[in-house]
Amino acid sequence: MIENKLSKKVIGYAIEVHKSLGPGLLESAYKECLFYKLNQGGLFVEKEKPLPLVFEGVKLECGYRVDLLVEKQLIVEVKAVETLADIHMAQVLTYLRLSGCRLGLLINFNVVLLKNGIKRVIL
């Protein structure tokens, strides 16, 4: 499945989760619910996927963890913050570079209308 089609499916499930729960919960609640919905939708999803850093040919475990990796090609970073900041975008860009993925979704569930909390990040 190509990344754009996959991202549309993920966004659809995220909207379902947001409509059901609304804003105001912890990030972990949204992540768990989205993980559940994506699995129920038949997608292969890895949660809290470790992401090593390769430095000078050495693989280092630095504690990077992708919130959700969908079908081994789409990174989903879940937030529940007042507003997304540049550092959140930088985090997704770093994950894209380290993983070799080309597309990521930064989703902030702490908004009234979820479409205002979604950022597509392309490398």
What does the pLDDT profile of the chain (123 residues) look like in tens digits? 698 999 999 999 999 999 999 999 999 999 999 999 999 999 999 999 999 888 888 888 887 999 999 999 999 999 999 999 999 999 999 999 999 999 999 999 999 999 999 999 998
Contact 32, 77 (CB under 8 A): no
What is d(CA 75, CA 106) in angstroms, rounded to the nearest whole number?
8
pTM more than 0.85: yes
The residue segments making up the domain with residue 20 are 3-122
Number of domains observed in the structure of the chain: 1
